[in-house]
Amino acid sequence: MVFLSAGSVFAADEAGKNFIANKVGVGYQGMVVGSFLNGISVRGWIGERVGLEASGFYGRVDAEIEQGSEKETLMKADLWMVEAKAMYAIIARSNSKFYAGGKIGYGQLGMTDAPGNIDGSSILTPGLFIGSEWSFPGLPEVGFNFDVGYSWLIYDNKVNDDPYVYMDVNLSGVNATFGVHYYF
């Protein structure tokens, strides 16, 4: 009985136009990277399948400083980042999308209690992800999204040109973002 009900819901769901086709949304986007980076985002869909997003984040992240063979110090670092995403909806239904995509991010990192104080070390984060976006039938202009994927981190890990002091920013690996957008 449950399977028959679920089948009819999915069949009916494909009949309508997707809720955010040809619309642009503005809202919150959060990045989970051990701690949270809060941001603002503009997301738009061109037709039902192609999407673009631009986000800006600011927050604090964990960073490790290695000083030769002596010790590792865990520190907090200030980070700002801008990110661009391109998405393709593999499945598009009237109130939901399942998509895959790629992203590129650029940011700067600063630590005040690090050896020699790090100010404005540039980072680059390319990545791949999958995600979904959905809305409730009674509130179609508000979209909720969740992405999970893998990001690489490209940055200069040397601290003040000291050959024995290295920085490890814990941003590469599997990460997730979530957001809420109002579509116009």
Q: Which helix (H) or strand (E) holds 8?
A: helix 2-13
Q: What is the pLDDT of residues 113-131, one digit of tens each?
A: 655 566 667 889 999 999 9
- pLDDT over 80 (residue 6): no
What distances in angstroms separate CA 64 from CA 32, 51, 53, 73, 105, one per listed residue? 18, 36, 31, 6, 21
Mean pLDDT value of segment 102-120: 77
Neighbours of 32 (CB within 10 A): 13
Q: What is the pLDDT of residues 170-181, one digit of tens each?
A: 567 888 999 999
Confidence of residue 59 (pLDDT cuts 50, 70, 90): confident
pLDDT at 68: 64
What distances in angstroms separate CA 144 from CA 18, 35, 114, 148, 174, one per listed residue? 14, 21, 38, 14, 21
Mean pLDDT value of segment 97-122: 81
Domains and CATH numbers, the chain: 17-183 (2.40.160.20)
pLDDT at 31: 83
pLDDT at 96: 96
- The answer to whether 159 and 118 have CB atoms below 8 angstroms apart is yes
d(CA 54, CA 175): 17
d(CA 100, CA 51): 10
